[in-house]
Amino acid sequence: MTPEVIRRLPKTDLHVHLDGSLRLGTLIELARERGIELPSFTEDGLRETVFRPQYANLGEYLQGFRYTVAVLQDREALERTTFELCEDCQAEGVRYIEIRFAPQLHVRQGFDFSDVVRAVDAGIRRASDAFNARPEVASGREPRFAAGIILCALRYFTPDLSEGYRRILEALPEASPQELHSAASMQVARAAARLKHDEGLLVVGIDLAGQEKGYPAEDHRVAYQVAHEAFLGKTVHAGEDYGPESIFQAIGNLHADRIGHGTWLFDESKISARRITDRKAYVERLAQFIADKRITIEVCLTSNQQTVPELGKDLSRHPFAEMRKRRLSTTFCTDNRLVSNTTMSNEIQRAAEAFALTDRELRDILVYGFKRSFFPGTYLEKRAYVRQTIDFADSILEGDAGVRS
């Protein structure tokens, strides 16, 4: 499968953070306009000082977000960067994305939670309308571009992160950390339900992100129950910097439909609970449960390799190899296009080479991204959309096979 074929194939990106996926030039321009100091005001300089090829750990990887979040504090910046992210995805054949972000990071005086989400929604709709007006798309010859919004809660936050979190802390001065985390995630879940069902925005689900160790999913159980009862999609960052227990908590406590990363699913050494005496059996049962329930794992190869020293320079050591062997439901994602300097086409190309994937295997993984999406439409609309993308993918692969033969 050539890079050109990969580019043309219809793809999804179900795990892409808006604040980690700005164009580097846009980040510099917005920082200049808003008087925000950067370590460098050249793209090469930022690649050298902030957005590097390798990071020591996840904490270092996340440092760049202090700059991206700083420029995303108004409607113009949020709508523009959302529009540009959609454009960048469209240019490489990505036909469906789910953009995730934590609205509370962007709240400020005169610009509230709902305003933040409306700005992102506007950027998506503008980019979608422009792309779907193309003759080949409007005629139905090619699949249209669509997108959903996933609102993120954070496992842990401090008042200096944003005005949005500072307000929560000020409103609950006597609350415990667990109560604060629960209150913040409840705000996310309730807003997601309201903005989707009452305002008709493109909100499709919620997510839980941030440091796992010491900040359990249990703190967010009530918020996820609210989302569950509102029929929202539920995904959780789990197994990214903690072990299999975190993944189980996401599924058992939060009703997770999908797992973000799941990198340490098979690592028995990262189990810490004393009650788990047979670690091997625990991992086997967890993997079997995930496979049986078709809980999809959002695999982010490049970002995992950048933050996990154990993976080193050998991507074939990534646990995706074991996920594939066990026939788990997986889909490739970029995580952060800027921070990881990657694209969906790059992720797929790297996967094909590292794991010797056949054309058919790649095609099936790409299709599963569409099937396991939180598509913002009816079930019948989603079925028709998935069918169209399958037919379009098959036509590309059949044409490529004819050329090669």
User: Which residues are marked as active site?
Assistant: 240
Q: How many beta carbons lie within 10 A of that of residue 229, not counting itself?
A: 10
| Residues with Cβ within 8 Å of residue 105, at least 6 apart in sequence | 19, 69, 72, 161, 162, 164, 165
Question: DSSP letters along 272-297, please?
Answer: --TT---HHHHHHHHHHHHHHHTPEE
Determine the 3-state secondary structure of 372 from DSSP.
Answer: coil
SS3 percent helix, strand, coil of the chain, rounded to 5, is: 55, 15, 30
H-type alpha helices, 97-176: 113-132, 135-138, 163-171
Q: Are 168 and 183 in contact (CB under 8 A)?
A: yes
Q: Is residue 314 exposed (0-12), middle (13-18) or buried (19+ Cβ within 10 Å)?
A: exposed
Alpha-carbon distance 152 to 161, whole Å? 14
| CA-CA-CA-CA torsion sign (158, 163, 168, 170) | positive
Whole-angstrom CA distances from 116 to 149, 155, 169, 192, 365 are 12, 20, 20, 12, 33
